[in-house]
Copies of this chain bind each other. A is one copy, B any other.
């Protein structure tokens, strides 16, 4: 089934299923029912079964899902059964935090190169990676064949950085700056906005 046929909200839930399954594997569990998975995620079992049915038959009636098998299938569907190199733009506090983020492990991504335009930062290292001059973005993105980027620069610079990344044919951009962005068809952009999450929670207070 082609990408365009599955509703976006379904695709948004698949990474949540995958994350839960990976924790379950770590805990040594082998089988899970849609009821149990739903309870863990706050998603109805019917929704989970319907979401997964877009991609095939993964569960057995009455026994549930074989966790490792479903995990591998979800990795394949989300195309994270490979290693995506990420171009990280911005080597400030946030850039450092992203490089040190423990949640990348075994989930299909790694920071491949870090860029900043601050001469004080260029040449220094975060972990094993040297901070490179932002002017080298085109060269490095091309040489490494990068298709994914993370934008961790101040709001005032984010739009210019995103435009540069799009011009370099980066196809997936995760943006941490608090600005709205529209991008051309064929480019995916998602924003990390902690305030929308906080506002969701205060509704219930």
A100 on the interface (CB 8 Å rule)? Answer: yes
A109-B201 Cα distance, complex, nearest whole Å: 12
Asked whether B180 lies within 8 Å of A20 as measured between CB atoms, the reply is: yes
Residue in B93, B103, B203 whose beta carbon sits within 8 Å of that of A97 in the complex? B93
- Mark A167-191 against chain B: 1 for CB-CB distance below 8 A, else 0: 0000111100110101000001010
A30 vs B100: C-alpha distance when bound (angstroms): 43
Distance between A194 CB and nearest chain B CB, rounded to angstroms: 6
A102 within 8 A of B: yes
How many subunits of this chain does the assembly comprise? 2
Q: Judge whether B103 and A195 touch: CB under 8 Å.
A: yes
Q: Are A11 and B200 in contact (CB under 8 A)?
A: yes
Assess the B92–A97 pair: CB atoms within 8 A. Answer: yes
11 new A-B contacts at CB < 8 Å, known A8-B42, A103-B178, A107-B195 = A12-B200, A20-B180, A23-B180, A78-B199, A84-B198, A94-B94, A101-B178, A103-B177, A104-B195, A109-B198, A192-B194
Among all A-B residue pairs, the 4 with the closest Cβ atoms = A103-B178, A15-B196, A172-B201, A94-B97
Task: Give me 11 A-to-B residue pairs in the complex whose CB atoms sit less than 8 angstroms apart, sorted by A's number.
Answer: A8-B42, A12-B200, A15-B197, A15-B199, A79-B203, A84-B198, A102-B155, A107-B195, A108-B202, A148-B201, A172-B202
